[in-house]
Amino acid sequence: MKSYFLKLTSIMTLFIGILGDVTFGQCTVGQPNISVQAEAFSNITIVEGTSTTLTSPISGTTYQWTLNGVHISGATSSSLTVHNFSSSDIGDYNVIVDSTSLLNSVSLGIFSSSISDYDRDRQALIDFYNSTNGPSWIDSTNWLAGPIETWKGVKVENCRVTELRLSGNNISGTIPASFRNLTELKRLSIRDNDISGILDITAMPSLLDLHTSNNDLTDIRFGNNDVLQRVHIQNNPFTPGKTIDISRMTQLIDFRAASLNLADIITTGTYNNLLYFIIRDNQISGTLDISRMPNLRLCYAHNNQFTNFSLGTGAELSRFYFYNNPITPGRTMDISGMRKLLDFRIQGLELSQLIMSGTYDEMLYFIIRDNQIGGTLDISMMPNLRLCYAFNNQFTDFKLGSHPELGRFYFYNNPVTPGRTMDISSMRKLLDFRVQGLGLSQLIMSGTYDEMLYFIIKDNQIGGTLDISMMPKIVLCNAENNFFEDLMLPSNVTGSGRTLSHLHVRNNNLHFDDLLPYSSILGTFSFSYNRQRNVATTVSGNTISVNVGGGMDYTWNPSGPNTSSFAVSTSDTYSCEVRNAAVPGLVIYSDPVFVSVSARASINDNTFNKGFGNINGITTYPNPIQRGKPIFSDIILKDSELIKIVLYTINGKKVREFDHPGKVGRNTVQLSSEGLSAGQYILTSGYGFEKVSQTIIIQ
C-alpha cells in the first residue's frame, strides 16, 4: 500500500492581530495548508489556545478522523479543525479514507507557555538587529522576513530562543535593553564583531556558553549563571577597575577573561571541571590561587599585579604563563608535582628557589630567566626540551644531560663556578646558543650543527681551537675574551654563499697565521679581531725575542731592528708591537720585560735583582725543574701590591694564570707545572704597570 502523509494546518489569533504562514520548529503557530510528513514530525507541539487544522492527503468518498484510535464524533470530512487547542486534544491523529486507515499518524502535543514569551524573544532579536546595523551584517539571511528559527544563527526549542550564533558577522552598535529577555538562551556567540556597550546576562540562568571576545564591550553583568561552562570574553575595553565574581560558577570548563582591564576576579569555589583559565593582561592583584583547580591544564596569568601565588599540585597542568607580576622577592615555587608540563614561563618573578624532582618528559619550553634562582640548573630530566632561557639568575652550577631537540639555550649572567666544562655534543638541533660570562674552561662539541645561527660564548676561559666550520648556516659568532689559539671557519665563508655576517674574536690568543687563511674576506663583513692578548717577551742572555706566528713588522720600544729578536746593548724595559699588512688593523703586543745588560742572567740563573719600581728582587726555583713539580718564586716588594703571575710557552701561548695578594717584604708564590710538557716557558710577574719575565726550563 502507498504511504501518505497528513497535512497540518493551525490558526492562532494574537492580541496584536492574526499571525499566519509561520512555523517555529516544533512550535506551530497559525500555519494553514502546510503538508506535514509524519515520519519527520511525529511529535508536533501546538501552542495552547491556538486552532489547528489537519487535512487528508488523499481524496475519497468517506472520511473518519480518529484520536488515539477512537473515532472522533462528527469528524467525517476531508479536514479536521481543532479549535482552542488544550490538554484534552493531545494524542495521535489519523484519518480513515474509504474504510482504510493511513499508515502514518501525527502526534500533537501542547506548549502551554504564554505566547508572549515567544513574542518577547522575537522582539528582542528585532531590537538587536535594528540596534546593531543589521543591514550591514555579512549574513542576515531571513532576518525580519521569515520564522525566527530560519533567521541566520538562531535556534528555537519549545518556542524559545536557545542559541544565537553570529560571530564574525560585521555587527556594530550597542546591545538593546530588551536583549535580556532572551531568558532561555543556552549558547550566545557574538565574538569578533564591533559590539559596544554593556551585555546583561543576569536573567539568563540556563546559559552554558558565552563567547563575546574581540568586541568593544565596556562591561558584562553576570548574575546567578551557575551552569556556565565556557566563558570567552577576552579582548574587550572594559571600564578599568571592574571585578568579576565567578565563585558560584563551579561548572566552568573553560574561562577566558584576558585583556579586560580587570582589577579582580573572585575565585572562592572549587573548580573540579576547569581545564583552561586565561586571565592574562589585566590589573589583578593579590594571590593567584589555582590550588582548587585540580584538573587545570592551561593557566595564563601573566602581565598582572599578583604579589603571591598558591599553585597546588598541578598534576594535569601543561602550560603555565605567570611572568611579569610583581611577586614579593625571595619566594619559592614548587613544581615537583607538575609532571605534564609542556610550556613553563615564570620569568621576572625574583624567585629564590624552584623546586623540581623526577622527570618532565613533555617539557618543550622552559623559561625561568630574570629571577634570583641559585644552586644547579638541572635540565637533564627534560629529554625533549626545545627552548631554555635561564639567564640572569644566581646559578653556580649546571647539569644539562642529552638534548637532541634543544634549539635555543640562553644561560648567560649566572655566577657559575669558574673552570667548568660544558658538553653540547648531543645538541645537534641548536639554533641559538648563548653561554657568555660563565668562566667555562672547556666546551665539548662534535659532529655538525646544521641549524646553528647564533653562537655566543664570549667572556669565558675556553682555549684550543675556535671551530665553527661545522656550522654551515652560522650568522653570528661572538667568542671574545677567551683563550682560543686557532680558528676554523665554515668552508662557505670565502664564497658567495656565506651566511656569516658577524664574527667577534677579540682578546684571544690568535696570531696572524690564524687569520691569514681568511685575508681575502677581512673587511667584507663585521669581523672584529683586534686586539689579541699580549704575548711574552723572552730573554736569553742579552737577546730578547717575540714569537708571533705570521708576524712581519716588528716595532720595538725602545727602538730596535725590524726583527723578531735582537741583542740589546742597553739596560731597559723592552716590548714590541707586531703587525702584518695582510691582516689590517691587528697589532699584537708583547709584555714589557726589563733586561740588565751589565748583570745579565743566564737561562739557569734563578735570581733577578731589578732594583727598580716596587720590586727589590725575585728568585725563582728550582730552575730547571722536573715536570709535575711546583715552581716557586720569592718576590720582595717595597709596598703592598697585587702580583699577577702568568706562564707562557716559548711561542707565547698562555698556559697558567693567577693573582697573588702581595705584601711588603718577601712573598713566596707557587705555580703548578702539572700537565705541562717539557720545554722552555716564560714566567711573567706583574705588579701594577711593571712586569718582569724569566725563562723557566721544565725537564
Q: What is the CATH number of the domain that holds 135?
A: 3.80.10.10
Instruction: Give the pLDDT band of residue 380 (cuts 50, 70, 90).
Output: very high
Q: What is the rounded end-to-end Cα distance, in angstroms, of the chain?
A: 119
Best CA proximity match to 166, nearest among 196, 200, 217, 132: 132
Within a 10 A sphere around the Cβ of 186, how many other Cβ atoms?
17
Q: Are 311 and 332 in contact (CB under 8 A)?
A: no
| Boundary-marking domain end, from 90, 112, 134 | 112
- Same structural domain for residues 545 and 665? yes
Phi, psi of 305 (to 5 degrees): -125, 30
CA dist 495 and 676 (Å) reads 40
Looking at residue 450, its amino acid is D
Distance in angstroms (rounded) separating the CA atoms of residues 374 and 390:
11
Query: Which residues have CB under 8 Å from 668's CB, separation 6+?
Result: 632, 633, 634, 635
pLDDT given for residue 19 in this prediction: 28
Task: Check residue 587 and give its pLDDT.
Answer: 96
- Report phi then psi at 180, rounded to 5: -70, -10
> What is the Cα–Cα distance from 43 to 109, expressed in whole angstroms?
7
Looking at the structure, do residues 64 and 151 belong to the same domain, yes or no?
no
Closest CA to 471 of 505, 502, 500: 500
Q: Considering its fold, how many domains does the chain have in total?
A: 3
Statement to judge: residues 577 and 601 lie in one domain: yes
Question: CA-CA distance, 5 to 3, in Å (whole number)?
Answer: 7
Which pLDDT band, with edges at 50, 70 and 90, does 672 fall under?
Answer: confident
Distance between CA atoms of residues 639 and 199, nearest Å? 82
pLDDT computed for residue 3 by the predictor: 36
**Is 119 strand, coil or helix?**
helix
> Residue 412 carries which side chain, given as an amino acid letter?
Y
Asked if pLDDT for residue 641 goes beyond 50, the answer is yes
Among residues 237, 267, 294, the one where a domain terminates is 237
φ/ψ of 228, rounded to 5, equals -55, 135
Could you tell me the residue range of the domain that residue 132 belongs to? 114-237
In a domain, 480, yes or no: no
Q: Are strands 607-608 and 615-621 parallel, antiparallel or unpaired?
A: antiparallel
Euclidean distance between CA atoms 101 and 295, whole angstroms: 59
Cα-Cα-Cα-Cα torsion 388, 392, 397, 401, nearest 10 degrees, comes to 10
Confidence label for 664 from pLDDT (cuts 50, 70 and 90) = confident
Q: Other C-beta atoms within 10 Å of 205: how many?
A: 15
- The per-residue DSSP string of 142-158 comes to TTTTS-GGGSTTEEEET
Supply the DSSP symbol for 685.
E
624 vs 83, which has greater pLDDT?
83
Please check whether residues 107 and 207 belong to one and the same domain. no
* 64 in any annotated domain: yes
* Residue of 599, 606, 600 whose CA lies nearest to 539: 600
CA dihedral 176, 254, 228, 47 (to 10 degrees): 70
In this structure, the answer to whether residues 19 and 45 fall within a common structural domain is: yes
Are 101 and 122 in the same domain?
A: no
Q: Decide if 540 contacts 514 (C-beta within 8 A).
A: no
Last residue of a domain, one of 237, 271, 293: 237
On whether the CB atoms of residues 671 and 645 are closer than 8 A, the answer is yes
CA dist 275 and 233 (Å) reads 16
pLDDT in tens, 169-216: 999 999 999 999 999 999 999 999 999 999 999 999 999 999 999 999
- With respect to residue 293, please indicate whether it lies within any of the assigned structural domains: no
CATH number for the domain that contains residue 63: 2.60.40.10
Could you read off the pLDDT of 314-372 as tens digits, one per residue? 999 999 999 999 999 999 999 999 999 999 999 999 999 999 998 999 999 999 999 99
Q: What is the mean pLDDT of residues 135-163?
A: 93
* pLDDT above 50: residue 18: no
pLDDT in tens, 100-114: 888 777 887 776 555
**Quick check: is 232 in a domain?**
yes
Residue 6: how many other CB atoms lie within 10 Å: 21
Q: Tell me the helices (H) and strands (E) count for the chain, helix number first.
A: 2, 61
Contact, 63 vs 4, CB < 8 A?
no
User: What confidence tens digit (pLDDT) does each residue in 448-477 have?
Assistant: 999 999 999 999 999 999 999 999 999 999
Looking at the domain assignment, is residue 389 inside a domain? Answer: no
Judged by DSSP in three states, 651 sits in coil
Q: What is the DSSP code string of 541-586?
A: TTEEE---TT--EEEEES---SSSEEE--S-EEEEEEEE-TTSTT-
pLDDT of residue 689: 57
Residues 572 and 677 both lie in one domain? yes
pLDDT at 47: 66
Mean pLDDT of 8-21: 29
Q: What is the pLDDT of residues 500-536, one digit of tens each?
A: 999 999 999 999 999 999 999 998 999 999 999 999 9
The whole-number pLDDT of residue 406 equals: 98
Q: Is residue 349 part of a domain?
A: no
Residues 599 and 619 in one domain: yes
CATH of the domain at 573: 2.60.40.1930
| pLDDT 10s digits, 35-56 | 333 333 356 777 677 778 888 8
Name the grid cell of 397: 652550577
pLDDT (average), residues 394-416: 96
Same domain, 558 and 654: yes
In a domain? residue 374: no
Three cell numbers at 216?
568593544
Element (H, E) at 515: helix 512-515
Residue of 80, 76, 81 whose CA lies nearest to 97 = 76
547 located within any domain: yes
Please report, for residues 119, 169, 259, 591, the alpha-carbon distance to residue 172 in angstroms, rounded to integers and kept in the order given. 24, 9, 20, 77
Per-residue CA distances from 61 to 1, 77, 96, 616 (Å): 18, 9, 11, 142
Which SS3 state, helix, strand or coil, does residue 677 take?
coil
Chain segment 539-590, per-residue pLDDT in tens: 888 899 999 999 999 999 998 999 999 999 888 999 999 999 999 999 999 9
Contact 326, 307 (CB under 8 A): yes
Q: Are residues 105 and 120 in the same domain?
A: no
Residues 104, 185: one domain?
no
504 and 528 in contact (C-beta within 8 Å)? yes
* Same-domain check for residues 118 and 105: no
What average pLDDT does the structure give for the chain?
87
CB atoms < 10 A from the CB of 428, how many? 17
Q: Return the C-alpha torsion angle 437, 442, 443, 444, nearest 10.
A: -170
